[in-house]
Structure 1
Amino acid sequence: MAVNRIRVAKDKAELVKSLVASKDTTGPFQTYVDVLVFSAALGAKHKKRIALEEISKRDPDPIPQEHFVSKGYDMLIKLLAITANKDISILSSNDENYDTQRIRIFEEYANGGLELLQNEFRGAVDYSERLLLILSHDKFQENSVEVDFDLSKFI
């Protein structure tokens, strides 16, 4: 059985690198794995899946799936696959095709989420601050429930 790797689109490679904390940057994430998981969750939230066209061959290299499993992120990969496929048989560990499908779905959601972040970060200097604004905006939108004003109680 071949080792499956999670790939990053070439046009999003610089964004992924800039989101990871290093000696040169102050990115909000510790690893490429964390960036991709957050991006996939964001892509799924906004129902944005984009197929990968050209793949980044270097930095970030395709990431072995074991890195996701060791952090417990394999559950998200499986949940996204079930949601997208509407078929629980995609969880089968006996068929390598299902594993490939799960990874492809995850990559597409991550790519969609990265595109959303790319658009949001356009012109931003500090990605951490902009990311915090995005998250707080989503939180406050979920808490505010629009209620139509009902005039019938005054009749």
Structure 2
Amino acid sequence: MQELQEDGGFPTFRDVLLFAAAVGYRQERRVPFTTAAGDPIRYDTLTHPAFGEALVGMIAANVVAEDPEIMDAVRLEERIKIFEEYANGGLEFLQEQVNVRHKPASAIVIDLVAEAFTESGGARPVSVDELLKGVTWG
């Protein structure tokens, strides 16, 4: 995590964890979190800025797609556990990539982001009409 933060362009460990969870989810790498791996993730660490909370929810909603109640407040702990497992899997995957490719973490991050854009067709311009499609006023 230290190398990812310092060399990968992530300002905080929170940002490293968010990226790692997204990588873990994309690579379908869900690895149980053990106390040997470190302290559990404190949820309040992920909620500022708010997009961290959204990513935790999106991953959980996709993993437990058949159960919309996963988003209920009483199941927050379960959502965090799912997030932790994907973050752990993502960190494991990133470490493997550093070891196999013999590149610095920053290059691996760039490669993964470029790969994601290539596979998804990349960013494309969107008109205001497309952004507001389906929005009704009043």
- Quickly name the TM-score band, shorter chain normalised: 0.7 to 0.9
CA deviation map 1:7-31 (0-9, x unaligned): xxxxxxxxx122112xxxx342111
CA deviation map 1:99-121 (0-9, x unaligned): 11111000011111111111111
Return the offset for 1:45. Answer: 1.2
Return the offset for 1:63. Answer: 4.2
User: What is the distance in 1 between the residues matched to 2:9 and 2:61?
Assistant: 29
Aligned residue for 1:28, secondary structure, equals coil
User: What is the distance in 1 between the residues matched to 2:37 and 2:27?
Assistant: 24
**Which residue pairs with 2:25 in the alignment?**
44
User: What is the distance in 2 between the residues matched to 1:55 and 1:79?
Assistant: 27
Measured at CA, do residues 17 and 129 of structure 1 come closer, stay the same or move farther in structure 2, by a change above 3 Å? same
- Which shifted more, 69-78 or 130-139? 130-139
**Which residue pairs with 1:136 in the alignment?**
114
CA deviation map 1:45-81 (0-9, x unaligned): 1222111134344xxx544211211111101101111
User: What is the distance in 1 between the residues matched to 2:88 and 2:41?
Assistant: 14
Measured at CA, do residues 129 and 78 of structure 1 come closer, stay the same or move farther in structure 2, by a change above 3 Å? same
Matches within 5 A, 1:104-143: 104-122=81-99, 124-143=102-121
Unaligned runs of 5+ in 2: 122-138
Q: Over alpha carbons, which structure has the higher Rg?
A: 1
Aligned residue for 2:84, secondary structure, equals helix
Measured at CA, do residues 33 and 137 of structure 1 come closer, stay the same or move farther in structure 2, by a change above 3 Å? same
% identical aligned pairs: 30
Q: Cα RMSD (Å) of the superposition?
A: 2.1
Query: Is 1:69 matched with 2:54?
Result: no
Could you list the structure 1 runs, at least 4 aligned residues long, displaced by more than 3 angstroms after superposition. 54-57
> What TM-score do the two structures reach when normalised by structure 1?
0.67
In the alignment of these two chains, the number of paired residues is: 119
**Which residue pairs with 2:127 in the alignment?**
none
Matches within 5 A, 1:5-154: 16-21=1-6, 26-57=7-38, 61-72=39-50, 73-86=52-65, 87-93=67-73, 95=74, 98-122=75-99, 124-143=102-121
Unaligned runs of 5+ in 1: 1-15, 144-155
- Contact (CA 8 Å) 1:28, 1:127: kept in 2 or not? no
